[in-house]
Amino acid sequence: MVNGESSVNNNSTRIAALIIATLANFLTPFMSSAINIAVPAIGAEFAANAIILSWIPTSFLLAAAMFAVPFGRIADIHGMKKIFNYGVIIFTVASLLSALAPSVVALLLFRILQGIGGAMIFVTGLAIITSAFPPQERGKAIGINLASVYIGLSLGPVLGGIMTQYFGWRSLFYSMIPLGVLIIVISVWKLKDEWAVCKGEKFDFKGSILYSIALVMLMYGFSILSSTLGVIMLVLGILGLVGFVICELRVESPVLNIKLFKNTTFAFSNLAALINYSATFAVVFLLSLYLQYIKGFPADYAGLILIVQPVLMAVLSPFAGRLSDKFEAQIIASAGMGLCTIGLAFFAFIDANTSITFIMIGLSILGIGFAFFSSPNTSAIMGSVQKKFYGVASAMVSTMRLVGQMLSMGVALMAFSLFIGQVQITPAQYPGLLHSIHVVFIICTVMCLVGIFASLARGKTHNNG
């Protein structure tokens, strides 16, 4: 009877863990993709310039990337559920504050706070699922969890556009509040377990500060790489990360255990994730400009075309996760990276006369490829480390995603500054815009091609969980 009760409790914990992590994983991508649609409305209300407006989505990404690894370590020491709950509370409160923001500067500050809450959610949600599920069921659970990310990305532009048009941009932030409250209620009521496998160990404040500052300089420098300041910031960021690695190798309880990267599965799976996000994140941004400027489509119609990719990602991620439970994740993820390469290559050839069917085929290939890469790759990363490193491993998954997204946007911004310049996009700039899009997609295709080899180099995956 005791065993039966234990089995029921374990099953209840797994279901609760999957529900709260999946709902939380919907929050942040939905907000991130919806806010892009709302930026013009925010600019109109606050009379903000284009540079400040670009920081509304970027400030969230920067804050989340800065705090992901430190909070991963804090969660390992003080408990996954505790940090997760605090993260959802901070995200929800920041959403309320953003909805009430009296100025664009206040909105940026609240977006930074939202990014800190987002980092706490990113690093613990995946780690809670990995802790709650046995290795033979983990891939399926991670696949379902990742599907919620893609559903959020899919619904963001469509619902975000409708909400902004009919209820104002502040409604996007208000909509996050009831969902945040629901997640907290389920977590407190149903999730009884706590995971703190490094309890009592010291937290590395010096390493955390050095890491955060170096990462900000690196990402900010890359986003303005065409300027002298950008090059200086990039060099300082690289030097800061080198200093961080040296520092971490000498600390007894490092915020990031550098020795984890001696594990080829962990190291190359993270590298493959970084390359994949760097190559694919700017696709929707670039195609949105292409469809609205070059093709002259309205925003809602462009959004319906672009929805093809995330919908396929959402539908196929659980299936890809199940496959990785049964077959070698290395092969499935590498095949997915190969499909991403083909999808990106499609867009390197688009021009003003390219058919929508051609665009949708490219997006479909990319969506299928990303689904078959992401779930198995994430499962491989989490399965390659011991339980005591789940928080840090989960943080690395989030950091690779966030840094990759920033690098992807950095490549796009660099191309725009070289071929268009800091001017408003008018029909006179359309040839420069099209040239920029071609160059970025060629760079991204080559990056993804290299990513196939990084994915294959990890070797066979061994679950340590």
88 and 39 within one domain:
yes
Name, of 29-33, 207-211, 319-323, the range with top average pLDDT.
Answer: 207-211
Regarding whether 291 and 171 lie in a shared domain, the answer is no
162 shares its domain with 60: yes
Quote the pLDDT of residue 149: 79
Same domain (yes/no): 72, 192: yes
Residues 185, 317 within the same domain: no
Q: How many Cβ atoms sit within 10 Å of the Cβ of residue 434?
A: 18
Q: Is the domain of 102 the same as that of 4?
A: yes
Residue 21 CA to residue 38 CA, distance in Å, equals 26
Is residue 149 domain-shared with residue 46, that is, in the same domain?
yes
Domain with residue 163: its CATH number is 1.20.1250.20
**Are residues 196 and 210 part of one domain?**
no
Q: Where in the sequence is the domain holding 357, given as residue range(s)?
A: 259-465
**Higher-scoring residue by pLDDT: 114, 75:** 114
Query: Would you place residue 194 in the very low, low, confident or very high pLDDT band (cuts 50, 70, 90)?
Result: low
Pair 320, 234 in one domain: no
Is the pTM higher than 0.85? The answer reads no
Residue 5 has pLDDT above 50, yes or no: no
Residue 414 has pLDDT above 80, yes or no: no
Buried b (16+ CB within 10 A) or exposed e, 279-307: bbbbbbbbbbbbbbbbbebebeebbebbb
Reply yes or no on whether the pLDDT at 147 is more than 90: no
Q: 346 near 314, Cβ under 8 Å?
A: no
Token pair for residue 1? 């009877």
For the stretch 419-436, pLDDT in tens is 776 665 678 778 888 998
Task: Please say which residue of 201, 226, 242 terminates a domain.
Answer: 201
Tell whether the model's pLDDT for residue 18 goes beyond 50. Answer: yes
If asked whether residues 392 and 352 sit together in one domain, one would say yes
Average pLDDT over every residue of 341-356 = 92
Count how many domains the chain has.
3
Identify the weakest region by mean pLDDT among 82-91, 136-145, 365-374. 136-145
- pLDDT exceeds 90 at position 97: yes
Last residue of a domain, one of 233, 252, 271: 252
Question: Residue 1: which pLDDT band, with cuts at 50, 70 and 90?
Answer: very low
Residues 313 and 460 both lie in one domain: yes
Look at residue 237 and tell me whether its pLDDT is greater than 80.
yes
Write down the residue that tokens 């950008």 correspond to.
230
SS3 200: coil
**Rounded Cα–Cα distance for residues 56 and 292 (Å):** 21
Give the torsion sign (CA, 261, 329, 382, 222).
positive
Cα 41 from chain centroid (whole Å): 25
| Residues 347, 242 within the same domain | no
